[in-house]
Structure 1
Amino acid sequence: MAKENALGEFLRARRAQVRPEDLGLLAGGARRVTGLRREEVALLAGVSTDYYVRLEQGRERHPSAQVVDALARGLALDDDAAAHLHRLAAPVPGARRRARRREQVSPNLVRLMESWPGTPAVILDRCLTVLAHNALGKALFDGHRHRGDLVRLVFLDPDAREFYPDWERVAVNTVGGLRAAAGIDPDDPRLIETVGELSVKSEAFRRLWARHDIRQKTHETKRFHHRLAGELVLSYEALTVNSAPGRQLIVYQAEPGSPSEAALALLGSLTAESAQAPENLRR
């Protein structure tokens, strides 16, 4: 990931996505740019056009917090994107990295997930790699080539668009979550590797990555078309794991009394039967 002018790249990308009329400006005749002009952002933020141009070009890299707030308002950024802009304007020096090793998940957290036999749960890292799961969490994503990597599942798995009926929305949110992670730790080698591979292999990923959308994974309702359970509509909550910064516990639930609750129960029973079957019958 190029970091030489991360602030300027973000400002340009976000400026291209705001229509003048959305902010009460007159579009006026033919426009040579998509979205806002530089002078329009400067006007909305209350800074000079020259100063704003220097920000986009990387000749000014550390605007004050007040200026960043003004730019966020001018670009109509939501809270997540505004926080990301602040991080780009005042990056925290990265800590010295230790040698890369396999991620370990607390046994207590694993036992907690296993105590929810009817609730899919997974532990994700910043790159949305599945570090741990309970039986139903594993079953939810089972059968896919990239079942242990939710970013690659969305963009590289051949069944992704069938598995996620609302694929475009899932893709936007997935890339937005990866962008948020990049703002926190842009030097993470696994993140750099993930973005590099997907940029080469997926045109859709390249398109969405260039937008610089920011989406923190918090809560949402998501549709799945599962190969065994059929249609599932599940809401999830993303819970921060305070003992392991960068990790999240994702818990999925169906609406009580809904067809999805019955389908999830079916998946749970099939998972339990498979676990109890002799090893030679599971192959």
Structure 2
Amino acid sequence: MSVNSIQSSISNVQREIQSAQRKLTDKTKEEANKTARIATVQRSITKSTSASSVQSKMREIERLQGDIVRIQNAKVDATKKIADKTQRLHSLQQDLYKAQQKEQNTALRKLQRSQEENAAKQQRQFETLLIEQPSILSVTNNDVVQSVHDVFISHASEDKDDVVRPLAELLNNKQFDVWYDEFQLRIGDSLRRSIDQGLAKSRFGIVVLSQAFFSKNWPQYELDGLVQKEMEGNKVILPIWHKITKSEVISYSPSLADKLALNTATATLEEIASQIADVLAS
């Protein structure tokens, strides 16, 4: 049975229990009234009561006692119905729990499959992009002359420990020149001038998109610089999504959401570094 069907059956059984409980209450009151009437009639019989009146009152008592027997039988039926329906209700509630668990498990498996398929699709798209679009992987001779760094990392400071610093070190270990503020900036340096130089002299720009990134001014300034470089004809932005959904990226920048991105939710930093290294080495 489906969840909706079981819930409908539960509602019907609950109504039947309530009806039987009302009937039991009504019959209990009726029995009390009949019993009280018998007591009243019995008290009305005295030594001075005529024989005909006594006979009439005794017939009334007998009739009332018969009514009480029928009432008690009805109470027994109502009590049994309540017990049976309550047992049925408990059984249906167990069935409902099992059906809900089954539906939840089915939905969870479907969601998991969808996430795995999306991750695999994203991976295939990224690999295809590396093969089919060499313009993303190459720079002009002038760019080579002017560029000093292989890649610039634009990020929010909140993401340094989780993503940025380990990623920069992984790329450094692969012999790539990474412009990363902790590697480049020194006391007294002009932040804006250093960032401008880093942007101008980097072939590619890694952008670590996160909720913290969207809330900061400097990362947006850096992103604007990378977008300006792309407008000159070269694909330079390599986006990484970190703890953020596509809808959140879309709300910030639809054009960024449309770019093929790596995701820390579906790939390790080592895997991300390897894929970026493939781009930088081409």
TM range (shorter): under 0.3
Higher Cα radius of gyration:
2
Structure ranking higher on relative contact order (CA contacts 8 Å, 6+ apart): 2
- TM-score normalised by L of structure 1: 0.23
Looking at secondary structure, tell me which structure has more helix per residue: 2
